[in-house]
Structures are given as structure tokens and as C-alpha cells.
Amino acid sequence: MSGHSKWATIKRAKGAADIKRGLIFTKLSNGITVAVKKGGGIADPNLNFRLRLVIEAAKSQNMPKETIERAIERALGKDGASLEEVTYEGFAPNGVAIIIEAATDNIPRTASQIKSVFSKEGGSFGRKGSVSYQFKQVGQIVVKKDDKSLEEIFDQAVECGAEDIEDRGGEVVIYTAYADTARTKDNLSEKGLNIVSVDLIKKPLVQMHITDKTKLEKTTNFLEKLEELDDVQKIYTNLAEY
């Protein structure tokens, strides 16, 4: 029985991993399609920085080249015409501000699914602008420290156009103006910094800390429920621990 039970557990784990992998690929494919559309139909990642970032993220998840190409083709064809980028705002449990970016070909369906999570998990769905003023659009570049000190990286980052940095142990997060992200990233690369990732994000102006374990778990469970939705692309919060 123990052998059968172990096999069943392995199969369940593999099934869950496959589902998660499929969900990630769905989100990335939609992200690629939206990036092409928002970039004026430019399908060349060298000329469309947002597309380049999504493709790099897709490659980091081992998405097949053919899948990436299909997503680009979809954006240029009729199938991609109906895919839209939509944003929702509100509050997670315990008053945590949240912004949700989604890509969908059916806005009523997506809105209904997101509102359902808010209703069932104790959140408060908000109107447009209800929390966005608490965030700033910035570029986020993560670099490895390697053999460099924080002070060295700080000086180099400032020279490259960084607005702020954040120490995260073996890595440093560099924030730059949204429109300067590509230029700053290239400048940092030229200085020899080991870049881990680059993203365009909404950064909270003030972070919220939840120290109560039960409250924190309720909030993170709510956020995880949203992340499980196919149409949800990115979630931004002012929760410091998330």
C-alpha cells in the first residue's frame, strides 16, 4: 500500500506542477500578445522593449520557441484583436491596496471572476483610481552583488540613471524612471553588472506591514486566489511581506 500511496502522491504532485506550468504559459502567451498590440503592432523585441521583457520571462520559464512565435502571430492576426488589457483596483483583506492587471478576450467574464474572489475572500472591490494614486510606475532591475559592495553598485546605478536602490542580501533591486528602464538596463550591463531580471512595475509609495500571522495568511490566501485566475497577468500590492 505504501508504494501505491507514494506513486499516487507523485502523480498528484506532477499533475499540480503541469497545471501550474500550463497556467504560467497561458499568462505569458497573453502577455506577449498584449505587448505586441500595445507596442503598435511591433513584433520585433529589439524595437519593442515591453515585448522583449515578456519574451525573456518566457524563456526563463523554458517556454518553447514555437509557443512564443504563436503568441506573436496571434497578436498580428484576427485572434489577437479581441484580447484586451484591463486593470482593476481594490483592497485585499486587512486594508491592503491592490492593483490587478489582466489580459482577456471577455471582459465581463474576467470582471466576474475577480469580483467573486473579492466577495468570497473578504476583499473590497474598488473603482478606477481608488488605490492607483498609492503607486508609481517605475522600472525594476534586479542585479546580483557578486563581488561588488552595495556602495559600489549604488554609485554605478546612480551613474546609469537609477532613482533608488534596495538591498536584498545577495541581490540589489534598482528602480528607475519608467521611460528610462531600457537605457538604464543597457548602461548597467555595459558596466558589467550581472542582471537577474528587468520588469516594468507599479511600486507602492508606502508599504504596509502585517505582523499578525493569521491576518497575513488571510491576505496572502486572497492574493493567491487571484493569481490562480487565467486572465490575471500581474498583481501589485503595498504589502511589504508579499
Please state at what angle helix 65-76 crosses helix 2-38, rounded to 10 degrees. 40
Of 7-16, 70-79, 82-91, where does the model show the most confidence? 82-91
Q: Give the CA-trace dihedral at 16, 71, 35, 141, to 10 degrees.
A: 50
Phi (first) and psi of residue 88, to 5 degrees: -125, 150
- Here the cell at position 6 is 507514494
Closest residue by Cα to residue 231 from 20, 18, 77, 23: 23
Flag whether pLDDT at 12 surpasses 80. Answer: no
- Here the cell at position 142 is 534586479
The mean pLDDT value of the chain amounts to 87
Closest residue by Cα to residue 139 from 155, 156, 159, 157: 157
Host H or E run for residue 132: none
Whole-number pLDDT of residue 60 = 87
Flag whether pLDDT at 237 surpasses 70. Answer: yes
Please state, as a whole number, how many other Cβ atoms lie within 10 Å of the Cβ of residue 219.
27
Per the CB < 8 A criterion, the answer to whether 42 and 48 are in contact is yes
Q: What does the alpha-carbon distance between residue 82 and residue 102 come to, in Å, rounded to a whole number?
A: 13
pLDDT (tens digit per residue) in 100-130: 999 999 999 999 999 999 999 999 999 999 9
Whole-number pLDDT of residue 11 = 37
Flag whether pLDDT at 42 surpasses 60. Answer: yes
Question: What's the pLDDT band for 75 if we cut at 50, 70, 90?
Answer: confident
Edge to edge, the sheet with strand 171-177 lists: 162-168, 171-177, 135-144, 194-204
Flag whether pLDDT at 213 surpasses 70. Answer: yes
CA 33 to chain CA centroid, Å, is 15
Flag whether pLDDT at 73 surpasses 60. Answer: yes
Which domains are assigned to the chain? 2-81 (1.10.10.200), 83-128+207-237 (3.30.70.980), 134-204 (3.30.70.980)
- Output b/e per residue, 171-201; b: 16+ Cβ within 10 A: bbbbbbeeebbbebbebbeeeebeeeebebb
Whole-number pLDDT of residue 81 = 64
Rg (CA), the chain: 20
